Structure 1
Amino acid sequence: MNGATYAPRRKNLNEDFPLRGYVLCADCDTPLTACWSKGSHGRYPYYLCPKRG
C-alpha cells in the first residue's frame, strides 16, 4: 500500500488471484504468489511467500 510492490505482468493473472503481487509477506516484505492446492474435497486457492524459510 505504500507503493513498494509491483503488478506482475502475467497472462494467467485472472479473477482467481486478484491480490497476487500486491500483498507483501509479513516476515520478509516479498510480494506473495498464489496457487491452487488439492485437498480431500476439492481444489483450494491460497497465497504463499515464494521465499523458503
Structure 2
Amino acid sequence: MIDFFFLVPIAIGLGLAGLASFMWTLKNNQYDDMEGAAQRILFDGNDRPAP
C-alpha cells in the first residue's frame, strides 16, 4: 500500500509533463503544415520526384 504513495504522484507528474509538452507544441504551431511535410519527402533538392 505504501507503494501507491510513491507511484501515484509520479504517474500524475509524468502525465502533466506530457500534457505540458503537447500544449507547447500546439503553441509553437508544430501541427500547422501537415501536407507540406508529406510532399517534401517526395522531392529532393532539384524539385523533381525522387527516383
TM-score w.r.t. the length of structure 1 is 0.18
The structure carrying a bigger helix percent of its residues is 2
TM-score w.r.t. the length of structure 2 is 0.19
The structure carrying a bigger strand percent of its residues is 1
**Higher radius of gyration, 1 or 2:** 2
